[in-house]
Structure 1
Amino acid sequence: MLHRSLHHAHGGWLSSRTSSLVAVLLAAASTLLAAEKPNVILVMADDLGIGDLTATNPDCKIKTPHLQKMADEGLTFSDAHTPSSVCTPTRYGLLTGRYNWRSRLAKGVLGGSSKHLIPADRPTLGHLMQSAGYHTSMIGKWHLGWDWAMEGDEIDFTKPVLNGPDINGFEQYYGHCGSLDMAPYVWVDTGKATAQPDRVEGVTRQEDRYGWYREGPISPDFEIEKVLPHLFDKTVERIQERVKEDQPFFIYLPLPAPHTPIVPVPPFRDASGLNPYADFVMQMDHHMGELFAALQEAGIDEETLVIFTSDNGCSPEANFKLLESKGHDPSGIYRGHKADIYEGGHRVPFIVRWPGKVKAGRETAALTCLTDVYTTLEDLTGQPRQTLGGEDSFSLVPVFEGRETSARKTLISHSIGGSFAIREGDWKLCLCRGSGGWSGPTEASAKKESSPRCSSTI
């Protein structure tokens, strides 16, 4: 279109110079978004299913008005996937732009006292955004390991934490090392514990079906029920700090919810009419509304790209049977859940909002993986591709600009047990006999029954 209109305007003169001129103009158009250098907030929920939001499930029974508003004002991906169906490996894939099975973690997840997983010389989103001139922060659930100071088998909380998010490109970080049900329950602020544990605490499943967490040391400033609102408060504080500076910012906000302990507080407790899990999802949605209100109040709403997603599908801790009895399925129309190679294990919500830059109210079926965030931000910030970083990543900027697909044509998925699936088009080859995870048939039972490995349509 551009070439044709210019040619008609200038006749034959343009024909000798068309290639170079048009190439320059098209390159300028494709970098229009990149020139904006928006603030970026990347929010990742924990164990939230694709069926748990009205924006990604028309039959959703949980009220999520703020995330629905985000979708109405942004772009919703209906075919978005995590690289793994569990926490730690997905976080590795998101931050590095490469599939998690390329790391030393072949299956499973890390614990609350595990050593760091991502080496300092591995490029991450933190490094990427720093190189583009951004201030970088991580606030929330890290779950990629860091190195506590050890005295024998015990942690010395008075000494600095080494090899935390700071070696992975985050200038500031405030968070908890593992999942919220994993001890120790101690806040670490850029290498230093904010308080020393003063007791050992835990809640068993028998004591609380939803709100259980493993026993371990806990600090006086770490209040389990207040963790979710506390992290949003910290994020709002960071926004208010950074808006005073003449520098764009990148905030990675990995939430601890709605993962166990499932601890909704009033007025959300019992608000869903379903169960505490649904209440907790509603509370999370409310806090997302507070985040958007903070951007409005700071006057940077239109200068800020917000991405919302989840690290894997919903966990059985949500109580699927009870939710089903009330007409709600956290996996929507898809089979399986967290830990599985099936779609419910790794197909997740993925919503992008950038007022005035990403067209509002659009839905796309573009095949997407969370590893694609890396090259997308590389593209948006106008940085050239490097040899290291984003090896399994494709830019979503063309989709942001209105195209139907990115360059991604295939997808490799990974389960908690280390099973693989390969997707191309509507076909998915599952390289396991069962779910590869927790739902039936499990791998052990499928092998016992001599079930064949299978392929299926999506």
Structure 2
Amino acid sequence: MKTRNPLPIVRLAVAIAAAIGSCLPLARCAAEPAVRPPNVLVFLVDDLGYMDIGANNPDCFYETPHIDAFADSAMRFTDGYAANPVCSPTRYSLMTGRYPSRVDATNFFSGKRAGKFRPAPLNDKMPLEEMTLAEMLKTKGYATCFAGKWHLGPDEEYYPQNQGFDVNYGGWTRGGPYTGKRYFSPFENPQLQPDSPPGDHLPDRLARDTAQFIDSHRDQPFLACLSFYSVHTPLMGRPDLVEKYEAKASRIVGEEFAREEQVLGDKPRRVRILQKHAVYAAMVEAMDEAVGKVLQQLDDSGVRDNTIVVFTSDNGGLSTSEGSPTSNLPLRGGKGWVYEGGIREPWIIRYPGITQAGAVESTPICSVDLLPTVAASVGYELQHDVDGVDIGPLLHGESLADRDLFWHYPHYSNQGGIPSGAIRHGDFKLIERYEDGRVHLYNLSDDIGEQNDLASEQPEKVDQLRDRLHAWYQRVDAKFLQAKPDGPEPWRP
């Protein structure tokens, strides 16, 4: 009996398969593995000013080599903003993609300082009904980790593990490292257990925990949020770095402070105009080292090429209070102010295969944009309204449709900031004071320091922007200053 040669049949089957494949170019073989969605790594630094990193400020007193090298591999945004000039509201916006005014989370939790008037009502928690970044990604099969400062609720019910995070290293109600030995162990943080050996440094501990999570989840998509307590007060630095910067500061001469305006009827406040605070510099560099450690873990774990990395801050640098350790010049003001020094932040994004290394983008973006951008990147179709937009076109080197950005801060900040709102429309920015309704208009294209008030020269532009700002107040149900008992009524829009 003659044995049939199987090769012609095999060749025929291959030919048929090739023909089918050519007719159905979009068809996928059932055995072909699905493309793994990108991992997401977010660095959020507390109180870090725009001018506090070398990538934004070549003359920076602080040394940030790891962040600067990261910027060289990524897209750096010159006009990136926080949704609020203090921490908790911006953190809410990053987690939800929504303006904090929508839920009256408009001050740090729970800041209720009064001035001439009582502040607006404050909600001191991120509602559990919100769809957070972590909850969104968990629907796509992501492992999720939070490390560091949370400050989004008064008790454990509102901690990260109840807002979509599988793992929580150190996130709880406190807005700073106020227990134990603060930035040095024992930390006595109930969400950071087991505690570290004596002398361990908090930014390094959080970096190690984050790196360990990344490595242990290298084979599945993950979200890792490293939300530093640094560089928030208390001002404490590693002794070796403090000594280094004390020597560096001794070689710098010049006036360190000037005067900044204050709220209605108060005296001007001191503002730092020269970077040379050795302890703060030590805190910045230690944070930079921690960033470098986590970025190195991406390489070591073999996941760098499939990880979106975002670096930003929650508000401007401390220039007018709490030790006034940094200068934001040429930006005006700092944390607690709606001037650029209080809301313009470092924003750096690396999306492998998408962003061009060393790219610089000047289109304004905001913290409300993080969630919708990540959603689009992982193929999640949003089922609810958000205020941010997908900035994917910018990451691809394309343009983004024009839009307005808004701020609403109806409080008296610890740093002396004026209760106020603001709108940025193109290059123009309007600030509206809530004590008396006065407005200021600046053209940021040639006046980034907001020194030349154009309000009296361009009344039509003032009216246009004020109308847009007031319409936004209505959309988000914004609340305003309240009268004290038997006191005068505050201005209302």
TM-score range, shorter chain: 0.7 to 0.9
Q: Number of paired residues?
A: 358
CA distance in 2, matches of 1:278, 1:253: 20
Looking at structure 2, the residues matched to 49 and 126 of structure 1 have their Cα atoms a distance apart, in angstroms, of: 26
Residues in 1 aligned to 2:70 and 2:150: alpha-carbon distance in whole angstroms: 25
In the alignment, is residue 410 of structure 1 matched against residue 410 of structure 2? no
User: Is the aligned partner of 1:456 residue 2:446?
Assistant: no
Shift of 1:182: 4.2
**Partner secondary structure for residue 44 of structure 1:** strand
Equivalence for 2:175 = 179
Matches of residues 98-113 of structure 1 in structure 2 within 5 Å? 98-110=98-110
Given that 2:152 and 2:158 are in contact with CA atoms closer than 8 Å, whether structure 1 keeps it comes out as no
Q: Which residue of 1 aligns with 2:217?
A: 242
- Counterparts of 2:239 and 2:304 in 1: how far apart (Å)? 29
How many Å separate the matches in 1 of 2:139 and 2:377?
A: 13
Q: Residues 103 and 123 of structure 2 are in contact (CA less than 8 Å); yes or no, is this contact kept in structure 1?
A: no
1:299 matches 2:302: yes
Classify the secondary structure of the residue corresponding to 1:348: strand
1:57–1:332 Cα contact (<8 Å) kept: no
Name structure 2 gaps, 5 residues minimum. Answer: 1-24, 27-33, 112-121, 181-186, 249-275, 413-418, 445-493
Distance 1:221 1:64, change over 3 A: closer
- The answer for the alignment partner of 1:229 in structure 2 is 204
1:194 corresponds to: 193
- In the TM superposition, what whole-angstrom CA distance separates every residue of 1:383-408 from its partner, at most 9, and x where no partner exists? 223224xx1111111111111x3235
Q: Contact conserved, 2:148 with 2:226, CA < 8 A, in 1?
A: yes
Q: Secondary structure at the match of 1:271?
A: helix
Query: Between the two proteins, what is the percent identity of the paired residues?
Result: 32
Give 1:70's aligned amino acid. F
Q: Contact (CA 8 Å) 1:115, 1:146: kept in 2 or not?
A: no
Matched, 1:358 2:355: yes
TM-score by length of 1: 0.72
Q: Partner letter of residue 118 of structure 1?
A: M
Per-residue deviation, 1:138: 0.9
Alignment of 1:16-415 (within 5 A): 37-110=37-110, 117-147=125-155, 161-177=156-172, 178-182=174-178, 186-189=188-191, 194=193, 226-243=201-218, 246-272=219-245, 273=248, 274=276, 275-316=278-319, 319-320=323-324, 329=327, 331-388=328-385, 391-403=386-398, 405-407=399-401, 409-415=403-409
Q: What's the offset of the Cα at 1:59?
A: 2.8
Alpha-carbon distance in structure 2 between the residues aligned to 1:266 and 1:422: 43
Task: Report how far residue 224 of structure 1 moved.
Answer: 8.6
Shift of 1:53: 0.8
Q: Considering only CA atoms, is the larger Rg found in Structure 1 or Structure 2?
A: 2
Q: Which moved more, 1:224-233 or 1:363-372?
A: 224-233
Letter in 2 for 1:92: Y
Between the aligned partners of 1:83 and 1:222, the Cα distance in structure 2 is 37
* Structure 1 Cα separation of the partners of residues 197 and 314 of structure 2: 23
Change (3 A) 1:313 1:51: same
Contact 1:119–1:168 (CA under 8 A) maintained in structure 2: no
RMSD across aligned C-alpha pairs, in angstroms?
2.7
Q: Is the 8 A contact 1:129 1:250 kept in 2?
A: yes
Cα pair 1:41 1:306 within 8 Å, conserved: yes
Residues 70, 382 of structure 1: CA spacing in aligned structure 2 closer, same or farther, 3 A cutoff?
Answer: same
Shift of residue 47 of structure 1? 0.5
The 10-residue stretch of structure 1 (309-318 or 364-373) with the greater mean CA deviation from structure 2: 309-318
Q: In the alignment, is the contact (CA less than 8 A) between 2:109 and 2:124 conserved in 1?
A: no
Superposition deviation, residue 131 in structure 1: 1.5
Contact 1:174 1:188 survives alignment (8 Å):
no
Q: Which moved more, 1:405-414 or 1:293-302?
A: 405-414
Q: How far apart, CA to CA, are the structure 2 residues paired with 1:171 and 1:71?
A: 29
Counterpart of 2:425 in structure 1 is: 424
Separation of aligned partners in 1, 2:334 and 2:123: 28
Unpaired runs of 5+ residues, structure 1, are 1-23, 26-33, 148-160, 196-219, 324-328, 434-442
